[in-house]
C-alpha cells in the first residue's frame, strides 16, 4: 500500500484517484489555486463536479495552502495540471516535494526551444530539480485514456514512462487494476512526444467534421471518409516527427495512434476543430469555448514553430508536413480551413 498525493484536481488527475484508491492505497487530492471550488465540493459531496460517480471512500481533499501537509509521507505524487500549469508546478510544487518521491505526470505536451528542439515536460522539470539540488523520480503517463471513461471502468491500456524500470514497476503495482492496464517504457521522449503530438493532429481530423457540417448542414450525418483520410495522413506526419525526435519505435507510434483515436472523440480538441471547420476563425472559436483548456492549440503552435525552423535549416521538408503547417496557418494567421487533400496523395 502506498500513499498517493494528486496535485491538481482537474479531470485526469482526479480520475486516477479511482484505480489508486480501489487498489487500497491511501489517496489525497490537492487542488491548485484554480481548483478551490472543486475541492470545496469534493469535501462536501465526495464527488468531482465533472464526474457522474462518487469517489471511492477514504480519499482526503486539500486546498493548495495545505499542500505541504498533503505531501507529508507521500510515496507517489501525481502531477495533474495542464500544459498551462507546468511552470507553476515547477515553481510551487517541485520545491516542496519530498526527496526521492516518485512523481507521475498526466500532463501531455512538449516545449519548443529557440534552437528548434522539442523537449518534454519531464526534461523541463528535471532541469528545475537539478537547480534545486533535489532528487525526484520523474515519470509520466501516455496513451489513450479519457478521464470519465477511466472513472466508468472502461478497459484502458496506457503507458507509464520514466528513467528507471524499478520505479516504473513500483508505479504499475500501485495503479494497475483489472480495467487499467499499464505498459512500461524507459523511452520518455518517445512516449511523451507521441501522445503530445496527437492533440495537434486530432484537431486536424476534427476540422473535417466541421467542414462537413458547413457543407451538409449541422444535423447532417457524420462522414468518415474525410476523417479517415486525415487520420491516415496524420499518422504519417506523427511518424516523421517521432523520427525527428530520435524516438521512432513501433511501440511509441502505436501508443500515439491509439491516443489520436481516442482524442478525436475526446471533447475539447474535437470541439475546437469542429468550430474552425465550420468557418469560425480562431478568436471566434476560442470565444465560443470560453474557459475551456485547449491543449491542442498550445502543442500545434509549438510543434509548428519547431517544424518551420527546421525546414529553414534544411533538416525537415516542407512537403512532409502539409497538415501541421495548415493547422498552424489556421491558428496563427487566421487562414480559412482548406485541407490540402491532394498533398496527402504524394
Q: Which residues bind a second copy (CB under 8 A)?
A: 143-146, 149-150, 152, 154-157, 181-184, 208, 211-212, 216, 223-229, 231-233, 235-236, 239, 250-251, 253-255, 257-259, 261-262, 265-266, 339, 341-342, 344-346
Question: 202, 269 in Cβ contact below 8 A?
Answer: yes
Nearer to a second copy, 68 or 319 (CB): 319
Question: 343, 322 in Cβ contact below 8 A?
Answer: yes
First-to-last CA distance in the chain?
54
Report, in Å, the least distance between residue 315 CB and a second copy. 18
Dihedral of alpha carbons 171, 176, 180, 185, sign: positive
Nearer to a second copy, 254 or 311 (CB): 254
Give helix 322-332 / helix 188-216 axis angle, nearest 10°: 70
Report, in Å, the least distance between residue 135 CB and a second copy. 28
Nearer to a second copy, 32 or 146 (CB): 146
Nearer to a second copy, 119 or 184 (CB): 184
Report, in Å, the least distance between residue 250 CB and a second copy. 6
Report, in Å, the least distance between residue 184 CB and a second copy. 8
Nearer to a second copy, 270 or 302 (CB): 270
Report, in Å, the least distance between residue 287 CB and a second copy. 28
Amino acid at each position: 500500500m502506498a500513499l498517493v498525493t494528486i496535485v491538481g484536481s482537474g479531470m485526469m488527475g482526479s480520475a486516477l484517484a479511482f484505480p489508486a484508491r480501489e487498489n487500497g492505497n491511501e489517496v489525497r487530492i490537492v487542488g491548485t489555486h484554480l481548483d478551490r471550488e472543486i475541492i470545496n465540493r469534493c469535501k462536501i459531496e465526495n464527488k468531482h463536479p465533472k464526474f457522474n460517480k462518487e469517489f471511492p471512500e477514504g480519499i482526503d481533499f486539500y486546498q493548495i495552502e495545505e499542500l505541504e501537509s498533503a505531501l507529508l509521507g507521500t510515496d507517489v505524487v501525481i502531477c495533474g495540471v495542464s500544459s498551462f500549469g507546468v511552470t507553476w508546478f515547477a515553481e510551487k510544487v517541485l520545491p516542496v516535494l519530498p526527496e526521492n518521491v516518485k512523481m507521475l505526470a498526466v500532463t501531455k505536451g512538449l516545449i519548443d526551444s529557440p534552437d528548434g528542439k522539442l523537449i518534454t515536460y519531464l526534461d523541463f522539470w528535471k532541469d528545475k530539480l537539478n537547480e534545486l539540488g533535489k532528487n525526484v523520480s520523474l515519470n509520466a503517463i501516455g496513451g489513450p485514456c479519457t478521464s470519465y471513461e477511466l472513472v466508468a471502468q472502461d478497459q484502458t491500456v496506457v503507458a507509464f514512462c520514466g528513467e528507471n524500470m524499478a520505479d516504473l514497476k513500483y508505479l504499475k503495482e500501485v495503479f494497475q487494476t483489472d480495467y487499467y492496464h499499464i505498459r512500461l517504457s524507459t523511452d520518455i521522449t518517445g512516449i511523451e512526444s507521441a501522445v503530445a503530438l496527437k492533440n495537434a493532429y486530432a484537431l486536424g481530423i476534427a476540422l473535417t467534421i466541421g467542414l462537413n457540417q458547413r457543407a451538409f448542414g449541422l444535423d447532417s450525418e457524420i462522414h468518415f471518409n474525410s476523417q479517415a483520410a486525415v487520420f491516415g495522413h496524420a499518422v504519417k506526419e506523427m511518424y516523421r516527427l517521432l523520427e525527428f525526435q530520435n524516438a521512432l519505435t513501433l511501440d511509441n507510434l502505436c501508443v500515439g495512434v491509439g491516443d489520436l483515436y481516442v482524442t478525436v472523440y475526446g471533447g475539447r480538441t474535437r470541439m475546437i476543430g469542429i468550430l474552425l471547420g465550420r468557418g469560425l476563425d480562431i478568436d471566434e472559436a476560442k470565444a465560443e469555448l470560453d474557459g475551456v483548456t485547449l491543449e491542442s492549440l498550445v502543442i500545434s503552435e509549438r510543434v509548428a514553430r519547431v517544424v518551420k525552423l527546421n525546414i529553414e535549416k534544411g533538416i525537415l521538408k516542407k512537403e512532409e508536413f502539409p497538415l501541421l503547417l495548415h493547422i498552424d496557418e489556421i491558428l496563427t494567421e487566421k487562414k480559412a480551413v482548406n485541407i490540402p487533400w491532394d498533398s496527402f496523395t504524394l
